[in-house]
Amino acid sequence: MKYLSIADAQGFIARALEAEKVPAADAKLIANLMVQSDLVGADGHGIFRLPAYLKRIRAGGVNLQPNIHVEREQGATALINGDNALGHLVMNRAVELALEKVKQNSVCWIGSHYGNHSGAASVYVRKLAEKGYIGIYMAVGNANHMAPWGGIDLLLSTNPIAIAVPAGKEPIVLLDIATTVAAYGKVKVAAQKGESIPDDWMIDKQGKPITDPKRSAEGSLLPIGGYKGYGLAVMIGLLAGALNNAAVGKGTIDFNAHHDLVTNTGQTIIAVDPSAFGNRDDFIARVIELVNDLKSSTTLPGVKEIRVPGEGAAKTMLERQKLGIPVSPELLGALNACARECGIATLAL
């Protein structure tokens, strides 16, 4: 495994995007946000996605000169029209607006439509938590990979949810999960590396496990917690998709298969100011107290430690800030193929 420094990764992504006519400022912002996914170990959502983004750009599937704007606004709520921009730009605007509104109203709900894939959900709620706010994110995934519980028709996506709670100087308590046992990005990474996937990730149309990720189109991802995960995916689809007049269910466009079509991706950001409910420092103290209680609790035989949401990502971030982003030979080949297509320098690791 080779490692690519954070600065080199951002520079490579920005150069590739600029070569495809993405404005320089937008390219740099997108590169920064993409690498933040890699920093926390969300390897299926960072630089790995660059080839797919470039395909969409070349196919005319995204708007490189978008008018990202607030389409509706009422009190502590707003609906952003992403104008089919690259997704990171839309979500960055949503977070900026959330920060404005939460300062004014103590709580806000920002929806968006006509967006695109924007990387790991944790990237955006982390921005809110770093400012001292609770952040919640929900989205409709960019392709349907899950059937309803007991069915075989692919009508739901991985529909992620992320929640970040500030913890003062301690690591942010952060949950970032797909409503499927595994995000589809992990299936794609396994396919690229030629690895098998666990038998509890996917089933075929007869209900039998799929372990070859290259057969993923033949079946359905399984929801977390059985019917409960299915139900959660439905509700997120309603709140991030239907509520925002975005694609959901049969209207969802598979951006892996149709690079030229508008996906109308729906996403939601919620921000909450803890000081609206009491003293902020006291809240942080209670957060840390619970984390410490969990960490110091008695473990089962063979278990080394109890972990809390966000702890693993925080450790990965520290490691990768020093070592860089791990790049497999397969990913390096894909990135250098992009470089040659874009007419920029290839990576030599």
Concatenated DSSP letters of 60-122:
T-S-SS---EEEEEETTEEEEE-TT--HHHHHHHHHHHHHHHHHHHSEEEEEEEEE---S-TH
Q: Burial, 271: exposed, middle or buried (Cβ in 10 Å; 0-12, 13-18, 19+)?
A: buried
Smallest Cα–Cα separation from 58: which of 28, 34, 32, 22?
22
Q: How many CB atoms lie within 10 A of CB 291?
A: 20
| pLDDT, averaged across the chain | 96
Write out the two tokens for 117.
């894939």
Residue 55 has pLDDT above 90, yes or no: yes
pLDDT tens digit string along 123-176?
Answer: 999 999 999 999 999 999 999 999 999 999 999 999 999 999 999 999 999 999
Kindly report the number of other CB atoms within 10 A of residue 307's CB atom.
12
What is the pTM (predicted TM-score) of this model? 0.94
Residues 6+ apart with CB under 8 A from 72: 78, 79
Q: What is the mean pLDDT of residues 99-119?
A: 98
Inter-residue contact 174 to 122 (CB < 8 Å): yes
- Residue 235 pLDDT grade (very low, low, confident, very high; cuts 50, 70, 90): very high
The phi and psi torsions of 16 (rounded to 5 degrees) equal: -65, -45
Q: For the chain, first and last CA: distance in Å?
A: 10
pLDDT for residue 28: 98
Cα-based angle 223, 141, 236 (whole degrees, multiple of 5)? 65
Q: Which residues contact 184 (CB under 8 A, 6 or more apart)?
A: 44, 141, 143, 145, 158, 178, 216, 221
pLDDT at 188: 85
Q: What is the pLDDT of residue 346?
A: 97
Q: In this predicted structure, what is the pLDDT of residue 256? A: 85
Active site residues: 117
Mean of pLDDT values over 99-117: 98
Report whether pLDDT(251) > 90. Answer: yes
240 confidence band (pLDDT: 50, 70, 90):
very high
Q: What is the pLDDT of residues 299-341, one digit of tens each?
A: 999 999 999 999 999 999 999 999 999 999 999 999 999 999 9
Q: Are 335 and 12 in contact (CB under 8 A)?
A: yes
